[in-house]
Amino acid sequence: MYYIFSILLALSTFNSSHDVPLAIFDCTIHKDHVSLLLHIDALDIQKEINTRVDDQSFGVYFNENTSWTLNERDLHFKVESCVLEEEHYSVSLLAPHVESELHFLSIENTIMNSVKEHSNIIRLHYHDTSRSFRMHTGRTSSTIKL
Protein backbone atom coordinates (compact mmCIF):
# COMPACT_ATOMS: atom_id res chain seq x y z
CA MET A 1 0.00 0.00 0.00
CA TYR A 2 2.80 2.40 0.88
CA TYR A 3 4.46 1.62 -2.45
CA ILE A 4 1.29 2.48 -4.45
CA PHE A 5 0.74 5.69 -2.45
CA SER A 6 4.36 6.76 -3.07
CA ILE A 7 4.00 6.24 -6.82
CA LEU A 8 0.72 8.19 -6.96
CA LEU A 9 2.21 11.02 -4.93
CA ALA A 10 5.27 11.20 -7.16
CA LEU A 11 3.14 11.25 -10.33
CA SER A 12 0.85 13.97 -9.01
CA THR A 13 3.74 16.26 -8.04
CA PHE A 14 5.55 15.59 -11.33
CA ASN A 15 2.66 17.02 -13.37
CA SER A 16 3.78 20.54 -14.33
CA SER A 17 0.56 21.69 -16.02
CA HIS A 18 -1.43 24.57 -14.61
CA ASP A 19 -4.86 24.27 -13.08
CA VAL A 20 -6.07 27.21 -15.17
CA PRO A 21 -3.59 28.48 -17.78
CA LEU A 22 -4.25 32.16 -18.41
CA ALA A 23 -2.81 35.57 -19.16
CA ILE A 24 -4.24 38.78 -17.73
CA PHE A 25 -4.33 41.94 -19.83
CA ASP A 26 -5.05 45.12 -17.84
CA CYS A 27 -5.92 47.70 -20.50
CA THR A 28 -6.50 51.33 -19.55
CA ILE A 29 -7.61 53.90 -22.11
CA HIS A 30 -6.25 57.31 -21.14
CA LYS A 31 -6.81 60.67 -22.81
CA ASP A 32 -3.76 60.43 -25.09
CA HIS A 33 -2.55 56.83 -24.84
CA VAL A 34 -3.54 53.26 -24.04
CA SER A 35 -1.57 51.38 -21.40
CA LEU A 36 -1.50 47.64 -21.19
CA LEU A 37 -0.08 45.61 -18.31
CA LEU A 38 0.17 41.93 -19.14
CA HIS A 39 0.87 39.07 -16.71
CA ILE A 40 1.75 35.80 -18.41
CA ASP A 41 3.18 32.47 -17.25
CA ALA A 42 6.95 32.36 -17.69
CA LEU A 43 7.30 28.72 -18.73
CA ASP A 44 4.44 28.89 -21.23
CA ILE A 45 5.68 32.05 -22.95
CA GLN A 46 9.27 30.78 -23.04
CA LYS A 47 8.06 27.63 -24.85
CA GLU A 48 5.85 29.69 -27.16
CA ILE A 49 8.49 32.25 -28.18
CA ASN A 50 11.22 29.60 -28.30
CA THR A 51 13.95 32.15 -27.60
CA ARG A 52 15.05 34.40 -24.74
CA VAL A 53 12.08 36.49 -23.57
CA ASP A 54 12.93 40.19 -23.52
CA ASP A 55 11.41 43.49 -24.68
CA GLN A 56 12.23 42.83 -28.33
CA SER A 57 11.23 39.16 -28.60
CA PHE A 58 8.03 39.70 -26.65
CA GLY A 59 7.19 42.78 -28.76
CA VAL A 60 7.51 40.75 -31.96
CA TYR A 61 5.39 37.92 -30.53
CA PHE A 62 2.75 40.38 -29.22
CA ASN A 63 2.45 42.19 -32.57
CA GLU A 64 2.21 38.91 -34.50
CA ASN A 65 -0.53 37.57 -32.23
CA THR A 66 -2.69 40.59 -31.41
CA SER A 67 -4.39 43.46 -33.15
CA TRP A 68 -5.98 46.38 -31.27
CA THR A 69 -8.15 48.98 -32.99
CA LEU A 70 -9.70 52.02 -31.32
CA ASN A 71 -12.49 53.68 -33.35
CA GLU A 72 -11.18 51.89 -36.49
CA ARG A 73 -7.62 53.20 -36.00
CA ASP A 74 -4.88 50.68 -35.29
CA LEU A 75 -3.09 50.95 -31.97
CA HIS A 76 0.65 50.30 -32.19
CA PHE A 77 1.90 49.05 -28.85
CA LYS A 78 5.51 49.38 -27.80
CA VAL A 79 6.96 47.26 -24.99
CA GLU A 80 8.14 49.53 -22.18
CA SER A 81 9.36 46.71 -19.94
CA CYS A 82 9.34 42.93 -19.76
CA VAL A 83 10.28 41.68 -16.28
CA LEU A 84 10.39 38.15 -14.90
CA GLU A 85 8.65 38.11 -11.51
CA GLU A 86 8.88 34.64 -9.96
CA GLU A 87 6.77 32.42 -12.26
CA HIS A 88 5.32 35.17 -14.47
CA TYR A 89 6.43 37.86 -16.83
CA SER A 90 5.03 41.30 -16.20
CA VAL A 91 4.98 43.22 -19.48
CA SER A 92 4.14 46.91 -19.74
CA LEU A 93 3.10 48.25 -23.16
CA LEU A 94 2.00 51.69 -24.38
CA ALA A 95 0.25 52.92 -27.53
CA PRO A 96 -0.47 56.54 -28.36
CA HIS A 97 -3.90 57.57 -29.63
CA VAL A 98 -5.51 60.87 -30.57
CA GLU A 99 -9.19 60.04 -30.23
CA SER A 100 -11.24 62.52 -28.24
CA GLU A 101 -14.31 60.29 -28.10
CA LEU A 102 -14.38 56.57 -27.48
CA HIS A 103 -16.76 54.49 -29.57
CA PHE A 104 -15.39 50.98 -30.18
CA LEU A 105 -12.38 48.89 -29.27
CA SER A 106 -11.70 45.83 -31.43
CA ILE A 107 -9.26 43.16 -30.29
CA GLU A 108 -7.89 40.11 -32.05
CA ASN A 109 -5.85 37.96 -29.70
CA THR A 110 -4.28 34.55 -30.29
CA ILE A 111 -1.61 34.80 -27.58
CA MET A 112 -0.89 31.39 -26.08
CA ASN A 113 -3.69 29.65 -28.02
CA SER A 114 -1.38 26.67 -28.54
CA VAL A 115 -1.58 25.98 -24.77
CA LYS A 116 -4.48 23.64 -24.05
CA GLU A 117 -7.45 25.40 -22.40
CA HIS A 118 -5.57 28.72 -22.19
CA SER A 119 -7.61 31.90 -21.60
CA ASN A 120 -6.74 35.55 -22.06
CA ILE A 121 -8.58 37.69 -19.53
CA ILE A 122 -9.02 41.26 -20.76
CA ARG A 123 -9.68 43.86 -18.06
CA LEU A 124 -10.72 47.08 -19.74
CA HIS A 125 -10.71 50.43 -17.91
CA TYR A 126 -11.95 53.69 -19.45
CA HIS A 127 -13.58 56.82 -18.02
CA ASP A 128 -15.06 55.54 -14.75
CA THR A 129 -15.93 52.14 -16.17
CA SER A 130 -14.28 48.74 -15.78
CA ARG A 131 -15.24 45.63 -17.73
CA SER A 132 -13.72 42.19 -18.10
CA PHE A 133 -14.09 39.43 -20.64
CA ARG A 134 -12.43 36.20 -21.66
CA MET A 135 -10.78 35.34 -24.96
CA HIS A 136 -9.69 31.80 -25.93
CA THR A 137 -9.32 29.54 -28.96
CA GLY A 138 -13.09 29.68 -29.55
CA ARG A 139 -13.19 33.47 -29.23
CA THR A 140 -10.13 35.17 -30.73
CA SER A 141 -11.75 38.47 -31.65
CA SER A 142 -14.15 40.87 -30.01
CA THR A 143 -15.49 44.38 -30.53
CA ILE A 144 -16.50 46.29 -27.44
CA LYS A 145 -18.78 49.31 -27.52
CA LEU A 146 -17.31 51.95 -25.22
DSSP 115: S
Residue 78 within a domain: yes
pTM: 0.84
Residue 3 within a domain: no
Task: Find the domain containing 64 and state its range.
Answer: 18-145
Number of structural domains the chain divides into: 1
Quick one: pLDDT band at residue 20, thresholds 50, 70, 90? confident
Q: Give pLDDT tens digits for 99-110.
A: 778 999 999 999
Which CATH number belongs to the domain containing residue 87 in this structure? 2.60.40
Sheet containing 78-85: give its strands across: 78-85, 88-96, 33-41, 22-29, 119-126, 129-135
Mean pLDDT of the chain: 88
Residue 120 within a domain: yes
Residue 9 within a domain: no
Q: Give pLDDT tens digits for 82-94.
A: 999 999 999 999 9
Residue 11 within a domain: no
Q: Measure the CA angle with vertex 32, ends 30 and 33; round to 5°.
A: 65
Sequence-distant (6+) residues with CB within 8 A of 119 are 20, 21, 22, 23, 134, 135, 136
Beta strands in the chain (DSSP E): 22-29, 33-41, 66-70, 73-75, 78-85, 88-96, 104-109, 119-126, 129-135, 141-145
Torsions phi, psi of 126, nearest 5? -155, 145
Residue 1 within a domain: no
Q: What percent of the chain has pLDDT over 90?
A: 80
